[in-house]
Amino acid sequence: MTPLGEHIRRLIRNGETVSLERFMAIALGDPEHGYYMTRDPFGVDGDFTTAPEISQMFGELLGLWAAEVWALMGSPKQIQLVELGPGRGTLMSDALRALQVAGNFAKALTVHLIETSPVLEAQQREILAGSEFKISWHQSLDTVPYGPSIFLANEFFDALPVRHYVFQEGAWYEKVIGLDENDALYYGLADDPETSIRARADENAVLEVSGLSHRVMAELAKRVATDRGAALIIDYGHVETQFGETLQALKSHEPVSPLDEPGEADLTAHVDFAALARTARAMGASVYGPQRQADFLSKLGIFERANGLKRQATPRQAIEVDRALLRLVSTAPERGAGGAMVPGMGALFKVMAITHPDMPQPPGLQSPSK
C-alpha cells in the first residue's frame, strides 16, 4: 500500500470526511508523498507527455503571442509574464528565447513561475539558469505582485482537484471516500445533501466541479480586468457544461483506478471551459474561445515555424519536426491511453483567452464569446 493510501485510511478510521476533492488534493499535493511533489511525471518514461515536451515550437509561439499581446496592451513599461504550473520549465524556456526578437518587450519583462512541487521547481531553476530575465517562484498567485501581466497555463487547470455530486432521489450528494470491511477504499456519498445546487438531473447523474479552478480563474480575471493584461488557458476539456465525470488516473501512460495507488498515479479531470468563462466574465474580463488548439497554433504560424526549423535540419531532424507538428495539430481520432479512441491533441485541447475589456482581440483567437 502506498504511504498516502495508508494516510487516507487512517483519516477515515479517525472519523474524518474524505471527499473526493480532499482525496485528490492529498494524492497530488501532499507535501511529502503527493504525486507532483515527488517526481517528474513527464515524457515516455513518465506518466504523460505535454505539448511543450513534444516540440519547442509550442513554447516559442506562446512567447511570440505574449509579445503581441503586450503590444496590444499599449506596450507598458513593465510587464509580468506569469506561468501557472510550469512543469519542467520547457515552455517558459522556449518562450523566453523566442520573444527576444521583440527587444522592447524583453526589456520590460519580469518572469513569475507558480509551482507547488519542489522537484519541478528545481528542474525549472536548472533549465532557466543563466537566463537574463528576473525570475521568481511562487507557491500560489497570492504572492505574485499586482500590475500589468500576461498569464500562461498549459495543462494546469486539469491538475486541480474536483468535487463530484451525484443526483439521487431529487437531491445532490457529494462523493466521499469510504473504507470497507476488507480495508479497501470505495466511493460513497455524503449523508446530507448539498442544497446550494439548483440544477435537476437524471437519477445518478454526476456533476463535476473544481472549486479551486474557479478561485484561480476569478483571481486571474480580476487582475486582468483591473491591472490590464491577458491570460491564456490551454487544456483538454469540454466547451459546454455537461453532466458526467471525467476524472482519470494515469500511470505509465495507462489508465488505472483513481483509488488504487494514491500518490503514484496522475489524477486529472477535463476542464469545464464554459464554467470558467462564466467566472471570468463575472469578474469583468472579456473571453475569447475556447477553440481548438489546432486552429490556434496554425493561426499563430506553426506550419511556417516548422518549415523554418526544417530548413536548418538534417533529414532525420526534419522528420522529427513533422512528427511533432502532426501531434500538436492533428484532429483525427487516435488510440489514447488504455486503447480508447480519442481526438488528436489538436482537437482534444482547447484554447481560451481572457483579456482586459479594452484590449483588442488577441492573436490566434476568434471574436469574443458571449
Interacting residue ranges for ligand SAH, rule: CB under 6 A: 36, 50, 52-53, 85-87, 91, 114-117, 120, 154-156, 159
Q: How far is the CB of 29 from ligand SAH (least distance, A)?
A: 6
For residue 87, the minimal CB distance to ligand SAH (Å) is 3
Burial string for 45-81 (b: 16+ CB within 10 Å, else e) reads ebbbebbbbbbbbbbbbbbbbbbbbbebbeebeebbb
Residue number, 286 or 289, with CB nearest to ligand SAH: 289
Which residue, 86 or 344, has its beta carbon nearer to ligand SAH? 86
Which residue of the chain is nearest ligand SAH when measured via CB? 85
Q: What gap in Å lies between CA 235 and CA 361, rounded to an integer? A: 20
> Cβ of residue 168: shortest distance to ligand SAH, in angstroms?
31
Strand 206-209 vs strand 134-138: parallel, antiparallel, or unpaired? unpaired
Distance of closest approach, residue 330 Cβ to ligand SAH, in angstroms: 18
- Closer to ligand SAH by Cβ: residue 55 or 154: 154
Smallest separation (angstroms) from ligand SAH to the CB of 156: 5
Nearest to 228 by CA among 151, 288, 294: 151
Phi, psi of 108, deg, nearest 5: -85, -5
Taking residue 129's Cβ as centre, other Cβ atoms within 10 Å add up to: 9
Task: Between 102 and 159, name the residue whose CB sits nearer to ligand SAH.
Answer: 159
Asked if 265 and 249 count as a contact pair (C-beta separation under 8 A), the reply is: yes
For ligand SAH, the closer of residues 86 and 363 by Cβ is 86
Give the type of residue at 54. I
Q: How far is the CB of 332 from ligand SAH (least distance, A)?
A: 22
Is 191 within 8 Å of 271 (Cβ atoms)? no
Phi, psi angles (nearest 5°) of residue 369 = -95, 150
